[in-house]
Amino acid sequence: MPGTQDLSFAFLETHPVDAARVLERIPPQDVAALLAEAPARLTAPVMRAMLPLHTARCLENLADDAASGLLRAMGPQAGVATLHYVPEARRNTLLAQLPTALALAFRLLLGYPEDTVGAWMNPRVLVMPADATAEAAIKQLRNEDVDEYRDGDAGIFMIGATQQLLGQVSLRDLLRAPADARLSKIMHKVKYTLPARTAIHAVEEHAGWTDHQMLAVVEREDHFVGALDRAMLARALQRTRRIQPDTGYGDMVADAANGYWLGVASLIQLVVALLPVARAQSTGAADES
């Protein structure tokens, strides 16, 4: 029969959003103890679903290597939303421990207010010069994390020498093109772009979402800085709405509670109570009394 910890870890894996709601009601130092015990592959999706302020408070109670590892697993968008609430000195320490390319992505996103398109875009989408060949683009794709390119609608963006957005080639068209075809010959003009400094809620009904899963993000003069996909937009909007004042704890429980959810939530709290940090605090409180 699986132990309490196994059941709690299973809940983290299968119900990350519900688990996030539970952990938000537990003291950050106790959550940090759980984060130190559980694998990052389980905790990262949960942390992405938590309010960034609470996530930041949890990171305060983790060692630098553990905190930076969790940020890496969370990814740039959710990680940056959290770092907005981390003191600058600690933030710089954590960024210094990330791989160079990832740290650059984090720093780019940190330059935008957290409720803007720029803060939620993916700055690491694949870009190529327009005079590159289809063969070179495919080779580059094989060296990249290609999750966002599994949908044929997702594209490779073409940029000029000054980072100006020139066009886009879908994966579908790229695979059909001759190996020596120049991307400039098979690319199409980008019809829709999102200004990086636009409020994230303002692009929810953007016309581009009708036909595309991913839209280019630009600064002034079509300076390409990244892309925003619909899944990340939905996550950003959900988080923005949760930060707004809610109708109270009772309403949330009424909406979310069912026997299974509450039962496993209790197991999570039990596991936290058994961890060293929680035990030490409990002992300290008893001594004071």
| Residues 159 and 79 reside in one and the same domain | no
Domain encompassing residue 14: 4-111+247-282
Q: Are residues 69 and 26 in the same domain?
A: yes
The closest of 50, 29, 37, 30 to 8, measured between CA atoms, is 37
Which residues have C-beta within 8 Å of that of residue 99, sequence separation ≥ 6?
Answer: 72
Question: Total domain count for the chain?
Answer: 2
Residue 120 lies in a domain: no
* pLDDT score of 249: 43
Specify whether 234 is located in the same domain as 132: yes
pLDDT confidence bin for 266, thresholds 50/70/90: low
Tokens representing 95?
Answer: 């960024």
Q: Is residue 288 part of a domain?
A: no
Which residues are registered as beta bridge partners of 133?
Answer: 182
Band the pLDDT of 268: cuts 50, 70, 90: low
Rounded CA gap, 123 and 102, in Å?
Answer: 10
Tokens of 242: 């949760």
Say yes or no to pLDDT of 270 above 70. no
Task: Note whether 131 and 221 are same-domain residues.
Answer: yes
**Residue 176 predicted with pLDDT over 90:** yes
- Who contacts 85 (Cβ-Cβ below 8 Å, separation ≥6)? 52, 53, 55, 56, 57
CB of 271 closer than 8 Å to CB of 34: yes
Rounded to whole angstroms, the Cα distance separating 193 from 20 reads 33
The least confident of 20-29, 132-141, 246-255, 270-279 is: 246-255
| Region 7-13 average pLDDT | 79
Residue 282: pLDDT over 70: no
Please report whether residue 121 resides in a domain.
no
Task: Give the global pTM.
Answer: 0.68
Asked whether residue 146 carries a pLDDT value surpassing 60, the answer given is no
Alpha helices in the chain (DSSP H): 4-14, 16-23, 28-37, 40-49, 52-59, 64-74, 76-83, 88-96, 100-110, 117-120, 134-142, 171-176, 183-186, 230-243, 249-256, 259-274, 276-288
Is pLDDT larger for residue 154 or for residue 146?
154
Q: What is the CATH number of the domain that holds 223?
A: 3.10.580.10
Q: Residues 167-173: what's their mean pLDDT?
A: 91
Q: Are 151 and 90 contained in the same domain?
A: no
Domain CATH for 55:
1.25.60
